Amino acid sequence: MKRCFLFPGQGAQYPGMARDLWESSPRVKEMFQSASDALRMDMKKLLFDSTEEDLKATDKTQVAMTLASLCSSAVLRERGITPDACAGFSLGEYAALCESGVLKFEDVFPIVRIRGELMEKAARGLDSKDGAPGMAAVLGLPAEKTLSTVGGLSSLGVYPSNHNSPVQVVVSGTARGLARAETELKAAGAKRLVRLQVSGPFHSPLMAEARSAFDAALASFAFADPAVDVYSNVTGRKIGSGEEARELCGKQLVSMVRWVDVQEALLADGSDRFFEAGPGTVLTGLLRALRPEARCFPAGTLVSISKALEEKA
């Protein structure tokens, strides 16, 4: 049996996430305090008292989601479930890097805050009279058809940003570009485009400004070699060293998330029990879409963790 922790990305957040974990675990309370100290902000207030609109802001979402996800993995460990491998979707990759020993707990929060601030700044620089840039899931069109269609729209500021499943791709773009992409993709057979609850065109070349500043910021943090196997969104493969992880963190801002490749690599390397350590069930659904028989357990709440234990995960 080989267990893998999967960490969700931005968009899965909700007000009050991790409250039940905080109420039940002294270790989680310590983690909230450590994160608050590292960021010099009240993380309990951010996670428990913010509105849904507050949590949509990238600079707030990223630190909140990272803490909620790492608290989930801590409670899994308290219940005797430890990972043999880790992977995270987009932002979730930072929780995976922390869980695998690449990043220190006290460093991961300043890093994701810097990341969030730079991404938000770059996104706001792309606001226009047409509206804000963003991301949209393409529904009803095979992934390969979406990728080929969007591949011809880069001059309009539209790029493929997440390859989520064989039947789902997410695109990033400016407001004008996304409107044009919707027309082109519907003509190609897509049923519709659904805008995601994010504030920018992430994982695309539109984030180049954020990437250069982020690379410079990462130079002041230590990246250790992985103690637990951890997989990259950029390559879809296992990360070999701390220095490779550092380089990939910058590339991830401007590169498509190859989640299908990550899942296939995990399965090929023997992972056969998956735990979605963090808010939501998106990654559970994506894995089951790829491999219906896969054993994947939501694990972002006490109830879901207890259910996973009952099912002899």
pLDDT tens readout for residues 220-242: 999 999 999 999 999 999 999 99
Residues 168 and 276 in one domain: no
The pLDDT of residue 56: 81
The pLDDT of residue 159: 97
Give the Cα-Cα-Cα angle 267, 272, 274 (nearest 5 degrees). 100
Residues 190 and 234 in one domain: no
The pLDDT of residue 313: 56
CATH of the domain at 169: 3.30.70.250
- The Cα 177–Cα 273 span in angstroms is 40
Q: Answer yes or no: is 59 within a domain.
A: yes
Q: Answer yes or no: is 230 within a domain.
A: yes
Q: Answer yes or no: is 67 within a domain.
A: yes
Catalytic annotation on 306?
Answer: no
The pLDDT of residue 199: 82
SS3 call for 136: strand
Choose one of 164, 183, 199: the last residue of a domain: 199
pTM comes to 0.95
Nearest CA-CA partner of 304 in 286, 283, 142: 283
Residues 146 and 284 in one domain: no
Q: Answer yes or no: is 158 within a domain.
A: yes
Give rounded-to-5 percent helix, strand, coil for the chain.
50, 15, 35
Residues 105 and 140 in one domain: no
Residues 224 and 274 in one domain: yes
Nearest CA-CA partner of 226 in 135, 70, 103: 103
CATH of the domain at 87: 3.40.366.10
Residues 225 and 302 in one domain: yes
Residues 251 and 285 in one domain: yes
- The Cα 198–Cα 212 span in angstroms is 21
Residues 288 and 304 in one domain: yes
Residues 12 and 87 in one domain: yes
- The Cα 303–Cα 309 span in angstroms is 10
Choose one of 199, 231, 252: the last residue of a domain: 199
Identify residue 114 by its one-letter amino acid code. Answer: I
The pLDDT of residue 197: 75
Out of 50, 69, 73, 90, pick the active-site residue.
Answer: 90
Choose one of 199, 219, 253: the last residue of a domain: 199
Residue 45 structural domain:
3-124+206-310
Residues of the chain with pLDDT under 70: 312-313
192-195/134-139 β-pairing: antiparallel
Name the E strands within the chain: 3-7, 85-88, 134-139, 158-165, 168-173, 192-195, 229-231, 273-276, 296-298
Catalytic annotation on 163?
Answer: no
Q: Answer yes or no: is 290 within a domain.
A: yes
Residues 174 and 292 in one domain: no
CB 116 within 8 A of CB 198: no
CA distances from 306 to 44, 77, 285, 299 (A): 23, 13, 19, 8
Residues 151 and 191 in one domain: yes
Q: Answer yes or no: is 129 within a domain.
A: no
Q: Answer yes or no: is 292 within a domain.
A: yes
Residue 259, Cβ density class (10 Å: 0-12 exposed, 13-18 middle, ≥19 buried): buried
Q: Answer yes or no: is 193 within a domain.
A: yes
Domain count within the chain: 2
Residues 6+ apart with CB under 8 A from 61: 10, 13, 55, 91, 116
Residues 150 and 179 in one domain: yes
The rounded Cα 96 to chain-centroid distance in angstroms is 10
Nearest CA-CA partner of 167 in 286, 261, 263: 286
Out of 72, 73, 203, 304, pick the active-site residue.
Answer: 203
